[in-house]
Amino acid sequence: MRVEDPNRRRGRAYNAHLMEEAKIVTSGKAWPKRRLCSVVSEAAREDPAGCGTPFVGYLGMEVAPPWMDDVSESPRFPGGLREAVDKAQHAGVIGKFTALFPDPVYSREGYVRTLYLHKPPGHFAAYEKSEYAVPKSEIVPLVEALAEGSDGLSRFERYEEDTSGGRDLLVCTHGSHDACCGKFGYPVYETLRHGYAGASEKQIRVWRTSHTGGHRFAPTLIDFPEGRYWGHLEPEALEKLVLRKDPVSELGRFYRGWAGLSGKFEQIAEREIFVREGWEWTRYLKSGRTLEADQNEDRAEVRIEYATPGGDTGAYEATVETSGTVMTLFDSGPRPLQEVKQYRVSRLERVRLGRR
């Protein structure tokens, strides 16, 4: 049930102040609906499955607005941070970076909250999270320490905060990157932040985030610590996504994929498994690989291995094939439509392996 957040009025006032500062970069050209990429994609019934960017590690950091199209060029983006993030990406510890919009409840004055989630070794169900609230002067050294590994992080232990056990829902509202993220993402953020997060007893936090990819599927969301991407979200889907009481099949058309799988074919197959197994699937340790794919990417053979919390092991083997094409718009604006392939799972078989 949705419950009114007692911090709603204060949160709205805070966000209104920040939005006022952000007007210069969120009030660009108003494209007609037929040139909004998300509207075009949804009208074409483009399937979002297989479009979640895989990553080994994610770094999210509070950055005050205004945000530019490239968030690293924003006036309040910390000096030296872009270079530090690039270094961490080259070291293989970060695959995705986004800015997080400061929040009146989650933020601490004089400190910058930083979320770092990384993939554990082997099969896994969720990313492991470390969270820090560091002074502004320590932002770049923290990211540099992430690139160096555990030894360099020891001096930041005093800034670390334990927020394990909860979920972080990141809603893209980066309207200066693409109009759809602001137009369609912000209402979803408002609903989740003030309708669900405040009543969750700190079990759910909802953040505004910069570009996460796939804005033609706006409104988009990443559900951490699992790392599940959702898109084309509609109002009736939000409660089902948050509370996880309804069948997964009712959310299948909004599911983009799991970041823990390395390719689109694996993500497409995993959606079918997720629908079949239900929410319990999110607790299974998993890994996947594409066994074979033809040169034109029209057909692929996929294997997803898993282990249940009770110790049973198994695998799903799937065939993913093209089912046609649609014409879509990658970015809002005057660019021409592009043809993209659509896929279906034509075969899905479960193989029981035994016990761990």
pLDDT of residue 72: 96
Is residue 316 predicted with pLDDT exceeding 60?
yes
* Number of domains forming the structure of the chain: 1
The pairing of strands 111-118 and 221-224 is unpaired
314 within domain boundaries: no
324 within domain boundaries: no
Share of the chain above pLDDT 70, in %: 91
The pairing of strands 338-355 and 204-209 is unpaired
10 within domain boundaries: yes
241 vs 199, residue with greater confidence: 241
Helix (H, G, I), strand (E, B) or coil at 80: coil
pLDDT tens column, 130-169: 999 999 999 999 999 999 876 778 899 999 999 988 999 9
219 within domain boundaries: yes
181 within domain boundaries: yes
Lowest pLDDT segment from 10-19, 77-86, 210-219: 10-19
297 within domain boundaries: no
Is residue 17 predicted with pLDDT exceeding 80?
no
273 within domain boundaries: no
In this prediction the pTM is 0.90
Mean pLDDT of 50-72: 97
- Using pLDDT thresholds of 50, 70 and 90, give the confidence band for residue 348: very high
- Using pLDDT thresholds of 50, 70 and 90, give the confidence band for residue 20: very low
Lowest pLDDT segment from 119-133, 187-201, 284-298: 187-201
Report the CATH number that the domain containing residue 81 is assigned in CATH. Answer: 3.40.30.10
274 vs 351, residue with greater confidence: 274
Lowest pLDDT segment from 114-123, 196-205, 286-295, 344-353: 196-205
**Residue 81, Ramachandran bin (φ over 0: left; ψ between -120 and 50: alpha; else beta):** alpha
The sign of the dihedral angle between the CA atoms of 59, 65, 67, 72 is: negative
Q: What residues make up the domain containing 20?
A: 1-262
134 within domain boundaries: yes
Q: How far apart are CA 174 and CA 212, in angstroms?
A: 9
